[in-house]
Structure 1
Amino acid sequence: MSYQTLDTLADLYVPLLFLLMLISVASKLKQPTVALKEFCSILLLAGIAYGMMFADSAQSLWSQRGWDYSTHTATAAACVWYLFWLHKGRRTLGGLFQHKAVYVFWPLSLIAYLALMRYQQYHSWPDMLSTLLAVLPIYCIHYWATR
């Protein structure tokens, strides 16, 4: 595949995940409290990803080490986190999120996205892995707070 085709695929990954997240919320509109909680959960995850970006901009946390904070990685991880953990016990979209393949698919899709970003030279492995190591503990707190 050409660079442009792979670039398009990379550009579509997070928006498609976000669309799935919104469809999931929309499927719960008959339960407004649940839908609102899910939507706020999405906003909080996005706030974490972008909040870390702003913290990095203000404090040069990554550039001090010669790295770059990967907002792509943080937002993709937030989407995968939401789709993997927050739906594992909930019947949504006809049980799609309860299928056992989901537990393999979402993490593998994130790994494939990271590999694609590396191949396209968006970020280095240290950029992406350090970003994951920074946001995952906060996502864990988010998970325990929203259970």
Structure 2
Amino acid sequence: MSWETLDAIADSVNPILGVIALVWPWIFWRSFWRRAALSVFTTLVSVAFVYVIAWLDARYGWWPSMGLDFSTHTAVAVTLVVSLCAIKPSIWFAWVGVLCAYVALMLYQGYHTAADIFTTAAVIAPPLCLDHWWLRRADRPG
């Protein structure tokens, strides 16, 4: 495949994951609108969190100070994959597989280094997992 084709595929990953993460809860939990709404809200807040971290990095230069580059593409993909895994945990391996393929594509295309991607994911994933864990606990009856 040409570089342009792979670039187009890479550019489509996050928008496709985003649409799935925002629509799937309404389909999956159609009888539980509160749970679907909380899932979509949590996803949107998580994406906003990514852009706050990106803004802070641009302002304070955390990643550049280590010779790295904050990967907004990775951060958004991790956010959406965490959300999708929270919706249906039994198929987490499929979403993680998509994320791994996306990471491999970014590395192959030279968008980011492995260190850029790893450090971004290491900072972004834990608070998002905690956020979704809280959502699941808050949504339990009683």
TM-score category of the 2 structures, normalised to the smaller one = 0.7 to 0.9
Indicate the SS of the match to 1:54: helix
Output one character per residue of 1:109-144: Cα deviation in whole Å (capped at 9) or x when no partner.
Answer: 111101100111111111100001111111122122
> Which ranges of 4 or more aligned residues in structure 1 deviate by more than 3 Å?
28-32
Aligned partner of 1:132 in structure 2 is 121
Percent pairwise identity: 31
Q: State how far apart, in whole Å, the 2-side matches of 1:26 and 1:132 are.
A: 27
Deviation at 1:38, TM superposition (A): 1.6
Q: State how far apart, in whole Å, the 1-side matches of 2:64 and 2:72 are.
A: 14
Q: Name structure 2 gaps, 5 residues minimum.
A: 137-142
Aligned partner of 2:140 in structure 1 is none
Deviation at 1:85, TM superposition (A): 2.5
Indicate the SS of the match to 1:122: coil
Aligned partner of 1:54 in structure 2 is 55
Maintained 8 Å contact 1:86/1:143: no
The one-letter code of the counterpart of 1:108 is G
Q: Name structure 1 gaps, 5 residues minimum.
A: 89-97
Q: State how far apart, in whole Å, the 1-side matches of 2:86 and 2:35 are.
A: 16
Q: State how far apart, in whole Å, the 1-side matches of 2:30 and 2:6 are.
A: 35
Aligned partner of 1:12 in structure 2 is 12
Aligned partner of 2:3 in structure 1 is 3
Output one character per residue of 1:4-44: Cα deviation in whole Å (capped at 9) or x when no partner.
Answer: 00001101111111111122133245543223212211111
TM-score (norm 2): 0.87
Q: Greater share of helix residues, 1 or 2?
A: 2
Output one character per residue of 1:28-66: Cα deviation in whole Å (capped at 9) or x when no partner.
Answer: 455432232122111111012111101111211100011
Maintained 8 Å contact 1:14/1:75: yes
Q: State how far apart, in whole Å, the 2-side matches of 1:37 and 1:108 are.
A: 25
TM-score (norm 1): 0.84
Indicate the SS of the match to 1:68: coil
Maintained 8 Å contact 1:67/1:127: yes
Q: State how far apart, in whole Å, the 2-side matches of 1:44 and 1:86 are.
A: 16
Q: Is the alpha carbon distance of 1:108 and 1:34 closer, same or farther for their aligned partners in structure 2, counting shifts above 3 Å?
A: same
